[in-house]
Amino acid sequence: MGTLLAGVPGVPAGKIVILGSGVVGANAARIAVGLGARVFALDRSVDALRRIECEFGARVVTVYSSRDAIEQHVLSADLVIGAVLVPGAAAPRLVSRALLARMKRGAALVDGLPDARAYQDRPWYGWILIPHELSHQWFGDYVTTENWANTWLNEGFAEFMPGQYWRENLGRHAADDYYSDE
């Protein structure tokens, strides 16, 4: 069973945690507030938190980011959005695999990867994400399922497409490597 981020009468809205309050984080907050979710923005910059607070007031709870604050909010979140960029440095890893494994059932993590510099420690990301998401765009309007219980069909197809992309561009060995890693 999923979470309705906007909530409905008698059911609380979902909790969205945004790690980073710069340009990407502020835009994520605008969307999250528009959805009607409970929104928490974490950052180490007091100025960035002030900007969020000035724009959104009580609609976004601002939290000074620390390991403890990240853990507390990630573990109770329905959706975590990574939107941190340290100029001139590789994107920090704020959510460890161990913390990810402890997230509540059904929660999701989205990594914003704000700009090209953020890809430095994830050179493979575009090779997987782009064909995956394009397959959703190209075929999503044509391949639909009766209900959410069958959404694995759409995701399975989208997971299949990066391997096909690799096969076409890098050869069969690359596709075989992709499928054996999955």
CATH topology of domain 15-119: Rossmann fold (3.40.50)
Q: Per-residue pLDDT for 124 more than 70?
A: no
Domain boundaries, the chain: 15-119, 125-181
Q: Is 8 helix (H, G, I), strand (E, B) or coil?
A: strand
Q: What is the pLDDT of residue 20?
A: 93
44, 65 Cβ separation under 8 angstroms? yes
Which stretches of the chain are DSSP H helices? 23-35, 46-56, 67-76, 97-102, 125-139, 152-170, 172-181
Predicted structure pTM score: 0.65
Please tell me the least confidently modeled range out of 38-52, 73-87, 131-145.
131-145
pLDDT above 70 as % of the chain: 77
